A and B are shown apart, each in its own frame.
Chain A
């Protein structure tokens, strides 16, 4: 009985001391933006502007390389007369094409607003362009996921 009481008192002491323990490095350098805020903001910004999710987390070279790769790929797709898919409920390939295009975020919105991208593929090169547009969007999805992993501290 006495032993149980001593164990209980010890565990209560541990519970009382554990939450008050602080990391001295974190206390000296508090983050400018909390991880929870950044884990929402970085993917959202990264989706709208490819690479920007890395840039706001001060990953300058990675951000610029991602931005250059995805934006150039999307622009080349448009220059090749690629097709931009609209929201649709028809053929499964059209739905998947729309999801891929949507990954490009702001570029997709701007190109829809400016009515860029043909709805019918007029020649063989335009089919390459359609694939470029879809893959640019899919690569941006990967970039957004990477920005999220950096924000939550899963990746350096």
Chain B
């Protein structure tokens, strides 16, 4: 039985893992890493929600 995630859950997990790696690798200090990781996560989730509404608007 394969793991079955909804599109939103898959995108949410993707955002978390990618943000952690981006935060650690792009910035130097711990504080900057946390800030940049959170920024990336917010951008991922914001982009996801905006893209969702754009697709909804195109359909209606």
Kindly state whether residue A8 has any CB partner on chain B within 8 Å: no
Contact B13 A139 (CB under 8 A): no
Name which residue of chain B comes closest to A125, CB basis. Answer: B4
Kindly supply a per-residue 1/0 record for chain B positions 5-47, scoring 1 wherever the CB is within 8 Å of any chain A CB and 0 otherwise: 1010010011011101110110011000000000000000000
Partner of A145, one of B7, B22, B25: B25
The docked-state distance in angstroms from the alpha carbon of A155 to that of B33 is 13
**Which of chain B's residues have a CB closer than 8 A to the CB of A146?**
24-25
The docked-state distance in angstroms from the alpha carbon of A125 to that of B11 is 12
Number of chain B residues close to chain A: CB under 8 A: 18
Partner of A65, one of B2, B3, B24, B28: B24
Task: Report if A79-B3 is in contact (Cβ < 8 Å); known contacts: A132-B14, A156-B28.
Answer: yes
Kindly state whether residue A45 has any CB partner on chain B within 8 Å: no
The docked-state distance in angstroms from the alpha carbon of A129 to that of B4 is 10
Interface, chain A (partner B; CB < 8 A) = 62, 65-66, 68-70, 72-73, 76, 79-81, 123, 125-126, 128-129, 131-132, 135-136, 139, 142-143, 145-146, 155-156
Interface, chain B (partner A; CB < 8 A) = 2-5, 7, 10, 13-14, 16-18, 20-22, 24-25, 28-29
